[in-house]
Structure 1
Amino acid sequence: MEVFSPNILKTTLAVVILNIFFSYGMLYFSNFILGIVPSFNLFNSVFAGSLIATILISPISEELIFRGVFLNRLQFIVPAVFAVLISSLLFAALHSFGSIFSAFIFGICIAILYLKTDNIFVAIFAHFLNNLFAEIIVFLDPNKILFTNNSVMMIMSILAIVSFALILVFIVDNLKKLNSNDL
């Protein structure tokens, strides 16, 4: 299979776009939780890394570690499906309170893309696109309309739910194929 075939590019783009909407839904949910449970505010600190670290260094280093090393090594110890889940849990553990669950889901999707192509550059590219789109959205929304306008929040929440459903279909379908070695 060609690494950056049109089909892989479409799949990669779909996973990234769906994850962006789902991630914002999870941020809305975590902001809601943080708002009603004040003791969680210690988790609400935001680390503002530079754009270079977020867009370039993180995708390269995290993919080399979590897909390139952990996922590959775990496959020698446990079935591939468990290797995907464990490496994705480890990946998610590095993320902040509001994005742990979406990072776990994204980690699963990236692991599937990696296993489908057997190429770490696809995983790095998807992670790069994800972080780039997220940073562009933050840059284009300096007034935090995505988090302060009720109509926008409602639309984004609906898109998050739909995105989550589509991501789950992608994950379940591909994990079944992975289980049968038909990925």
Structure 2
Amino acid sequence: MDKKNIKPIFEIVSLYAVFVFFVYFVGKYVSYIAYYVFADPSNRSETYKSYAYFIMSISLCLILLLILCLCKLKLKDVIKFSKFNMRLIIKLLIFQYAFMFITAFISWNNLVSIFNAVKFWFEALQGKRIVIYQTIFKSQINIDLGVFFILYTIIVGPIVEELFYREIIYNKLKKILPIKFSIGITAVLYASLHIRDFTINIDIVYLLFLGILLTYCYEKTENVWASISLHVIYNGFNTIIKCLKQNSAILLYLVIFTIALIILTIDIIKYLKRRKQNEVQANPISDVQE
């Protein structure tokens, strides 16, 4: 190993360790903090739990400021806004959900569910089934859709994570490693933080793929706001999907998967045309040289 790389590697490991420690520490005790600070002993209501998201939001912001201070970076320089390609973000988002849909075929149970969903909506189009609000959305939603949940999940979380993983960690890795390796390592670090109870399941595959897309988006646009936007939309879309019944969610995935296939087909055709044009342009030059 090059001795020049030892210091930056140590910095990356140290920063990641600090970030992970604070996130896990706060995540473990945030419910207790919310209970003792916001719970009303005379009331059995569990509304205090929503304040846990508020505490997490504040904690993430403080962690980010600490890391920026350690890196000797100013927030105003890191978070400068500039225009970016929104079409690329939508395209990457479509590919992410198409990938999630494809991996669902790994399980036979999911394949049966997809078949049943297609059958359900086909019958709905024929007028054999009535589609109403209760048909599309769950009657009981297991997530808190309060202001603090939205603040943490859809706004603060993505911003802090993108600034840390893409703007800090990835940029440091890119200075000592090839871009492809840097993207892969950043994706692994991003996914590993989201492993719950140290158990590995299919979600880790989704997160790895998402981590790659987020880092690719940042590298392609050279704009952290592009990856932030992709992350925000992904988290928001995930929240909506969790409110849908299975048949509705599968229909949405099918539509996205179809769009992804169309986009992929168009991209392949464009690539083949460009390749053919390049070969045609190269042939006259080779003929002249002969």
TM interval, shorter chain, is 0.5 to 0.7
Report the equivalent of 2:83: 4
Report how far residue 70 of structure 1 moved: 1.0
Deviations 1:63-121 (A, max 9, x none): 11111111001112211111111001111112343321121111111111111221111
Matched, 1:22 2:99: yes
Matched, 1:128 2:207: no
Which residues of structure 2 form unaligned runs of 5+?
1-81, 111-141, 196-200, 272-290
Aligned-pair identity (%): 25
**Within 2, Cα distance between the matches of 1:13 and 1:158?**
11
Give 1:88's match in structure 2, choosing from 166, 181, 187: 187
Report the equivalent of 2:24: none
Cα 1:24/1:59, change in 2 over 3 Å: farther
Matched, 1:159 2:257: yes
Which residues of structure 1 form unaligned runs of 5+?
34-46, 174-183
Classify the secondary structure of the residue corresponding to 2:177. Answer: coil
Report how far residue 52 of structure 1 moved: 2.5
Classify the secondary structure of the residue corresponding to 1:66. Answer: helix
| 8 A Cα contact 1:55 1:131, kept in partner | yes
Give 2:171's match in structure 1, choosing from 55, 72, 79: 72
Q: Output the amino acid matched with 2:247.
A: I
Q: Report the aligned-residue RMSD.
A: 3.6
Report how far residue 21 of structure 1 moved: 3.1
Report the equivalent of 2:57: none
Matched, 1:102 2:181: no
Q: Which structure has the larger Rg over C-alpha atoms?
A: 2
Matched, 1:113 2:192: no
Please give the residue correspondences for 1:48-59 in structure 2 after superposition, counting only pairs within 5 Å: 50-59=149-158
Give the TM-score, by structure 1 length: 0.63
Q: Output the amino acid matched with 1:68.
A: E
Cα 1:158/1:58, change in 2 over 3 Å: closer
Q: Output the amino acid matched with 1:92.
A: A
Report the equivalent of 2:58: none
Give the TM-score, by structure 2 length: 0.42
Matched, 1:145 2:247: yes
Q: Output the amino acid matched with 1:67.
A: R
